[in-house]
Amino acid sequence: MVGELEFEKPVIELRKKIAELKEFTMNADVDLSSEIEKLEARLEKLEADIYDHMKPWDRVQIARHPGRPTTLEYISLLFTDFFECHGDRTYGDDEAIVGGIAKYRGLPVTVIGHQRGKDTKENIRRNFGMPHPEGYRKALRLMKQADKFRRPIICFIDTKGAYPGKAAEERGQSEAIARNLFEMASLKVPVICIVIGEGGSGGALALGVGNHIHMLENSTYSVISPEGAAAILWKDAGQAKRAAESMKITAPDLKELGIVDEIIPEVKGGAHKDVKAQAEKMDTILHKSLKELRSLSEEKLVSHRYDKYKSIGEHSVIKEFIGVN
Amino acid sequence: MLKVFTKSKKKKYATIPSEMAKQDVPEGIMTKCPNCKKIMYTKELVKNLKVCFHCQYHHSMNSKERLASFLDENSFEELNAGMISENPLNFPDYLEKLEKDRKKTEINEAVVTGIGTVDGQTIVVAVMDSTFRMGSMGSVVGEKITLAIEKADELSVPFIIFTASGGARMQEGVLSLMQMAKTSVALKRFSDNGGLIISIMTHPTTGGVSASFASLGDYNLAEPGALIGFAGRRIIEQTIREELPEDFQTSEFLMKHGQLDAVISRIELKEKIATILSIHQQGGDLEW
């Protein structure tokens, strides 16, 4: 099978063996059904063992799986009447971010998200889901439009990060990201952010200042990729696995840190195994989340967002210190 | 010598169609696509909203054709149809030119405005007409568009404009320039009141029109292959002394450069606009 992951190999091998045995009994005159039953029970246990105790690095592998559903796939499954809007009205149309208007359960909404490709050709077109400044500016343009027409905003986060390139710096990458954080703070409509794959640093956060942040169970959200962190901390990108363990980048970690509101459970083995079922699981949480936020007034939504970010971070105060005075 | 004689025996004739043959194919029954050079029945072409069957070239539409293709049947109610231009600068020949165009086009100015419905949804619509003074904008065009925007505001319905213009009308000088500001000021008030603005740029949308209401939509859309730009191609080439790319200032060029939400074929236009309108309908959230 294409795209099978290292940690799930025992499951896949056992499943193969069972299939072989089944085929064997069909052709030969031997009854192996009790053996098969036993093996199936073992498979169930093994699956539970592996998928219920996934290590951070395993989750990183799932989050990066080439077949992992993208923003446009979720849009087509969760929304109707999607009309894509292009361009930042200034410089260009960044295809690493898609956005537009649609209906969610009959309700007009604006939906925006990072867009990766699933093959090389599309990945080149989408710049591997790594946005340029015009991408963030398009997103902001659509958010302001949503604000004008009082439409809730739903953002799908799925990027390795902002694109580290010359042109991006020339066109004000930092300003574009900063502007989004700044402007998203004052949106008078519900903003819901869902991390569906990798949430890579500033490029992710530029779509991430929401009232609610939800994460798919096997997605990650981090200040830097594990490889990047390993290179900075230990001068060895090869220690990415170690970095992934220590950096607290998985959905359960972020829930514990008080950043994420809900973890959206994934289908067994990861969202790529059944996109439709995954969209249904997402729908349940999105519906609940939007219903809750729609009951808040415009001012309340702004202060709710303010309070959410204000409360993030940890510190303590000491009694005895030498101040500048 | 002999050879010359035998050769000259073969007379060559040019074929000139007889009067009879000429009447067989009346003027306008066939149309040649300026893009792919293929010939097709005009009637069929009109039925296909004047989009070439072979190469999808969008033949230009006048205001009447546009309204018929876009609005629900019999839903159009025209506004300010009788408004005509003065000659504020006493520009030579201006009034005569206007009169000539009025006769030719059977409309009174380069924009037609009114109220209508798209898929049952009420809108105020303004359609510029490039057959009248190249769709140029003078006082009347500015005023009619402004009044249409105010009407949309008053009725709390969306404002949709189809642009087609060579730019400001030279014969009205700076008064034409000021129409850019006048229409934009009206759009800003409408927008601040929550009004929905959809601009659909058609061939050609240039100069002062492109630098005012055409670019101020909540949704800026364009027909494929339309020429859209501020300064003319020749002026730019002469100024920068460089040859410009072939697709320069086309809809597709603008889309790539972030100026358009979408380029939409005329065949799908009504349906797409109806979708956008339905997403902006009040009370669409009843089940919530």
Strand pairing partners for A195? A157, A215
Q: Do A16 and A155 fall into the same domain?
A: no
Nearest CB among B261, B272, B286 relative to A87 is that of: B261
The pLDDT score that the predictor gives to residue A22 is 84
Beta strands in A175-261 (DSSP E): 191-200, 212-216, 220-222
One domain for residues A175 and A228? yes
Looking at the structure, tell me whether residues A25 and A124 fall in a common domain: no
Instruction: Look up residue B194 and give its DSSP letter.
Output: T
| Assigned domain for A316 exists | no
Question: Do A149 and B194 make contact, defined as CB atoms within 8 angstroms?
Answer: yes
Does residue A288 belong to any structural domain of this protein? yes
The residue ranking higher by pLDDT, A238 or A139, is A139
Residue A291 lies in a domain: yes
Interchain contact B258–A (C-beta under 8 A) = yes
Burial A115-128 (b: 16+ CB within 10 A, else e): bbbbeeeebeebbb
What integer pLDDT is reported at residue A308 of this predicted model?
A: 95
Contact at CB, B287 and A291, closer than 8 angstroms: no
Contact call for residues B260 and B214 (beta carbons, < 8 A): no
- Number of structural domains in chain A: 2
Q: Answer whether residue A322 is part of any domain.
A: no
User: Rounded distance, CA A250 to CA A221, Å?
Assistant: 7
Identify whether the C-beta of residue A163 lies closer than 8 Å to the C-beta of residue A155: no
For residue A1, what pLDDT band results from cuts at 50, 70 and 90? very low
Tens digit of each residue's pLDDT (9 = 90 or more) over B175-228: 999 999 999 999 999 999 999 999 999 999 999 999 999 999 999 999 999 999
- Looking at chain B, the whole-number percentage of residues with pLDDT higher than 70 is 90
- Region at A316 (left for phi over 0; alpha for psi -120 to 50; beta for the rest): beta
Considering only CB atoms, B260 lies closest to which of A83, A87, A145, namely: A87
- d(Cα B46, Cα B67) in Å, to the nearest integer? 13
**Residues A37, A108 within the same domain:** no
The ipTM value here is 0.85
pLDDT category at B11 given cuts 50, 70, 90 is low
Question: Is A78 in the same domain as A139?
Answer: yes
Q: Based on the fold, state whether residues A290 and A239 are members of the same structural domain.
A: yes
Q: Is A64 a domain residue?
A: yes
Number of CB pairs, chain A paired with chain B, less than 8 A apart: 71
Whether residues A294 and A232 share a domain: the answer is: yes
Domain that holds residue A235: 59-309
**Alpha helices of A130-206 — where are they, by DSSP H?**
133-148, 166-170, 173-184, 201-205
Q: Which of A52, A75, A90 is the last residue of a domain?
A: A52
Q: Are residues A127 and A30 in the same domain?
A: no
> Do the domain assignments include residue A117?
yes
Beta strands A97-104 and A80-84, pairing class: antiparallel
Q: Which residues of B touch A145 (CB under 8 A)?
A: 218
Up-side HSE of residue B72: CA atoms within 13 Å toward CB?
12
- A275 and A251, same structural domain? yes
Helix intervals (H) in chain B:
2-9, 19-24, 42-47, 63-70, 94-105, 139-155, 173-192, 207-210, 233-240, 251-256, 266-279
Domain contains A212: yes
Least confident range from A240-244, A277-281, B122-126: namely A240-244
- The residue among A89, A125, A141 with the most chain B CBs within 10 A of its CB, best to mutate, is A89
Tell me if chain A has a CB within 8 Å of the CB of B188: no
Place of tokens 């030119």: B97
Cis amide leading into B224 (omega within 30): no
For the purposes of burial, counting CB atoms within 10 Å of the CB of A249, is it exposed (0-12), middle (13-18) or buried (19 or more)? buried
Q: Note whether A140 and A182 are same-domain residues.
A: yes
Task: For residues A154 and A24, state if they share a domain.
Answer: no
CATH number of residue A166's parent domain: 3.90.226.10
Q: Residue A43 — pLDDT band, cuts 50, 70, 90? A: confident
Nearest to A65 by CA among A270, A274, A275: A270
- A314 domain-assigned: no
Q: Are residues A17 and A76 in the same domain?
A: no
Contacts of B81 (CB under 8 A, 6+ apart): B108, B112
